[in-house]
Amino acid sequence: MSSTLIGIRDDTVDGLYSPAKQKAANRGNYTSRSALFLRRAPQLLAAVKFKLLLAFSLLCLAIFLSSKLSSFMGWIPDRASLVSSPYRGSYTVLINTWRRNSPLKRTAAHYASCVGADAIHVVWSEIEPPSERLKSDLDRAVKLKSWRPDIRVEIEENGGGGSGRFKPIDEVRTDAIFSVDDDVIVPCSSLEFAFSVWKTAPLTMVGFVPRMHWLDLDKSGGVFHRYGGWLSVWWMGSYSMVLSKAAFFHKKYLDLYTNEMPSPLQDYLARERNCEDIAMSMVVANASGTPPLWVKGKIQEIGSWGTSNGKGKEKRNECLNDLLSFYETVPLLSTNVKIVNARQEWVW
């Protein structure tokens, strides 16, 4: 007859399960973990302090580098000017015209439709004054587009001369001047974006037409400065000027250009009609110590090609070198910064 031995587990016997023992063991584990945490707490606190100190140092360094880079790129806000001007949210359109009445009327009407335009002034560069009919046509064209801008015709003394396009105008109420040729149309959206860029850098020129210069050798081995058009900018990836045919600058440069420029330089510009835009670039660069800013944007030219094409390049080279001879050092500064509207770019 077989028998079965049944073992009964005694909770008091070592090695067998006991709820009381398990609770005591758990309390021991918790105690050991707490002790370990307390021993490591100073190390963890030191690590947190180090990370916070490192983050703060990096932030300070970023702010410092940003300020230095901003100064180099022209981002030096003229806060006193921007705050004090009641018209800091708008700009004055300054249209230079010469023997192109039909494009002038179209251009004036277009810029009258831009919401940021406070007024439109036309610089008349011909010997004969504008006809009353032309004035009436301009007024009618502007009123059809916008009720806000006023338009008046500025007549240069002595009838013509490129230097007269930058004469100070007492009636200008805005700090910002948008200088444009009578055959250049910039879409209002692009114009407003460029104006927003200029407000961050009111001491420099902000425009749509970049140009550059560099040192070169002539046939006799002499050194001279060569003027480069758009293809040179595209090829080299840098520029040192933005032309006043479509550019923003502060109105104080009108006074600086007209009233503080040396007489020999003014006489030269009066003789050489096609050099005034290069001269203005030098005036702004020399006064601000900053390079210009090129804003990417599509512009439409409804007139003829400018002097930067074909044989006109030689004339531009001559202008550039003649103007630089009036300065002790070259005021123009090169940069490779191109401003784009991130809302209109797929990759940025």
Copy the structure tokens of residue 200: 């961050």
Alpha-carbon gap, residue 162 to 203, rounded angstroms: 23
CA angle, residues 194, 103, 198, in degrees to nearest 5 = 10
Tell me how far CA of residue 304 lies from CA of 61, 184, 191, 219, 220, in angstroms.
50, 10, 22, 32, 35
Tens of pLDDT, residue by residue over 288-299, are 999 999 999 888
| 277 catalytic per annotation | yes
Question: Mean pLDDT for each 10-residue chunk of the chain (348 residues)?
Answer: 43 49 50 56 68 73 52 42 60 86 86 88 81 82 70 56 75 92 92 95 94 83 84 91 95 92 87 86 94 92 60 83 90 92 73
List strand residue ranges (DSSP E) for the chain, in order: 91-97, 117-124, 150-155, 176-181, 184-185, 206-207, 210-217, 223-228, 241-242, 246-250, 293-295, 300-301, 338-339
Active-site entry in 78, 150, 277, 322: 277
In this structure, what token pair is assigned to residue 188?
A: 């209002």
State the Cα–Cα distance between residues 302 and 183, nearest whole angstrom: 5
